[in-house]
Structure 1
């Protein structure tokens, strides 16, 4: 019986660590998604504001602690590219989130099933 209890304890420990890792990864991916969405919104807003300017307007791009003059079409092109990149990253992060949520749900279900079986075995 002691061997069975040790094996059972190892299974419970493995399921708990799998659940903790999945929970941690879901939170991490959600934080990354929020950061990318914020960056995407900022780029879209900046692009909208720059769209209201005359094409001949002098515009500057921040590079570290300095500003470099950039033509308006180049700057708006960079912002468009950044928005597209953020959309691709968001799609990839969403797939990651779904994967980790599925792992989390599976680990919870396995742990609950094990506990239910243990409770039924004690009766």
Structure 2
């Protein structure tokens, strides 16, 4: 009976580990995307700042280009930069939380395997087949 309970606990922990790993990968991908957005906004800002205020600047909307004042484009890029930084900070918090959960699940798995070495042998025999 205890063997079945340990096996069920292992399966549950394994499921949580897979779920957390998936979420962690998703957060990391989102962070990479936001880092790219932040870098594009920064580089665009740097290029815009080099232009004189009298330079004609255009904003791309789909396939069309609309004449916009330089100050409007600078404000938009600054906002994109700030939004990206805020999103990255939020995602970093999520990542740290998920990493903490992952550590807890790993510790629980270790404890379970130390309590019942028989389950470790069963798991090893299942993975060999």
Name the counterpart of 1:5.
3
Name the counterpart of 2:44.
46
- Provide the rounded CA distance (Å) in 2 between the counterparts of 1:62 and 1:7: 61
Q: Deviations over 1:47-88 (max 9, x none)?
A: 000100010111111112222111100000010011111111
Alpha-carbon deviation of 1:120? 8.3
What is the TM-score of this pair, normalised by structure 1? 0.91
1:1-123 alignment, distance < 5 Å: 3-119=1-117
- Provide the rounded CA distance (Å) in 2 between the counterparts of 1:113 and 1:120: 13
- Provide the rounded CA distance (Å) in 1 between the counterparts of 2:28 and 2:58: 33
- Provide the rounded CA distance (Å) in 1 between the counterparts of 2:93 and 2:62: 33
- Provide the rounded CA distance (Å) in 2 between the counterparts of 1:109 and 1:65: 54
Off by >4 Å, runs of 4+ in structure 1: none
- Provide the rounded CA distance (Å) in 1 between the counterparts of 2:117 and 2:87: 45
Partner secondary structure for residue 53 of structure 2: coil
RMSD: 1.7
Alpha-carbon deviation of 1:112? 1.1
Report the number of matched residues. Answer: 120
